[in-house]
Amino acid sequence: MGMDNHKNSIVQRSLRWKVRRSCQNKCRPNGSDPLPEGIIAKTSNLERRPLWGYPEQKKEPSKYLFAAAVGIKQKEAVNEMVQKFLSSDFVVMLFHYDGIVDKWRSFRWSNSVIHISALNQTKWWFAKRFLHPDIVAEYSYIFLWDEDLGVENFNPKRYISIVRDEGLEISQPALDIGKSEVHHQITARGRRSRVHRRTYKTGDTGIRCDYTSMAPPCTGWIEVMAPVFSHSAWRCVWYMIQNDLIHAWGLDIQLGYCAQGDRTQNIGVVDAEYIVHYGLPTLGEPEKKMNLTVSGENITSLGKQAPPQRNALNFRVEVRRQSYNEYKVFKRRWKKAVAEDTCWTDPYPES
């Protein structure tokens, strides 16, 4: 009898050890250890729920997210974008950098979108705080756009179909060169192609691109005014966005590291679905334009230049200066991180 009890004790200890070992090998979200595994909700989404009852039954939940930083002065352009994306079954989130939300209620779609307001912040500041990868994990593609874009010739569903067929993890629609402010040649629309992944022309930056070019901005690159990310690419990009560098200058050059493979193949510009980039300076504008009068003339209403005021800040210049300073900081951080991480191998070493 004593021998049987001893054997049972050994078996029970062995079972407990196996269970403990299997539990230790489980990968659980940080901080969830006090909870039974079945109750853990690892992700979330942006679908709204009613206070009682059940939500309206959809054919299927939204798989795509459109987010943009917007100001009330660009409401007509934003209205066109929002209508296009809502009609294509996107979840729409608006980041209000001017703090104005109520004036959007005149649009019928206002109650159908998510409004987030914080004064004088950029879309990257909003994205870092409200588009965590676990929150948007259920969305196959994330559109993170500026407000000064024309979408008359853009169809969101056709765009998704193209990037999926082409295997593009990071992309943007091409720019209509006749109506757009084009900063980099690679973003200009090609009329004879559905998608292009490189350019062979010298752009405004003076960088020469040819068949041997293997680095941004000649290939493996998009601009950041209208980026589109797969959910896998966005998870990587979110980690690369610096919490304190809100203008994100320099981020575009390194997006290729998040392309889930060869950046020259997985990053591209879609020509078949194109947009207009108006290039409007919005961040840093004075909150109210003063009606200045000189010699009896209202020079603001006449469209004339106001005389410089002593010690007055030029807000646009200050924003530009801050953007460039952040670019230099980001480059230093990248260089330092590369030097310190002995386990990391650069897939795109500089030639």
> Helix, strand, coil proportions of the chain in percent (round to 5)?
35, 15, 50
| Contact between residue 215 and residue 348 where contact means Cβ atoms under 8 Å apart | yes
pLDDT at 149: 96
Q: Alpha carbon of 187 to those of 239, 277, 280: distances in Å?
A: 25, 10, 17
Per-residue pLDDT tens digits for 22-42:
566 577 888 888 999 899 888
DSSP single-letter state for residue 308: P
The residues near 331 (Cβ < 8 Å, ≥ 6 apart) are 250
Q: With the C-alpha atoms ordered 171, 173, 176, 179, is the resulting torsion angle positive or negative?
A: negative
Count other Cβ atoms within 10 Å, centred on residue 214.
13
Per-residue pLDDT tens digits for 84-119:
999 999 999 999 999 999 999 999 999 999 999 999
At 50 the three-state DSSP class reads: coil
Query: 182, 170, 196: which is closest to 277 by C-alpha?
Result: 182
Question: Is the backbone of residue 255 left (phi > 0), alpha (psi -120 to 50) or beta?
Answer: alpha
Bridge partners of residue 150, in order along the sequence? 276
Q: Alpha carbon of 285 to those of 263, 278, 290, 335: distances in Å?
A: 36, 16, 12, 33
How far is Cα 347 from Cα 90, in angstroms, rounded to an integer?
34
Tell me what the pLDDT averaged over the chain comes to. Answer: 86
Per-residue pLDDT tens digits for 162-174:
999 999 999 999 9
Give the confidence band of 57 by pLDDT, cuts at 50, 70, 90.
confident
pLDDT at 28: 81
Per-residue pLDDT tens digits for 189-229:
998 899 999 998 765 566 788 888 899 999 999 999 999 99
Write out the E strands in the chain: 64-70, 90-96, 114-117, 141-145, 149-150, 170-175, 195-196, 228-230, 267-277, 293-294, 297-298
How far is Cα 227 from Cα 149, in angstroms, rounded to an integer?
12
CA 154 from chain centre, in angstroms, equals 18
**pLDDT above 50 (res 299):** no
The residues near 291 (Cβ < 8 Å, ≥ 6 apart) are 298, 300, 301
Residue with tokens 């990071």: 170
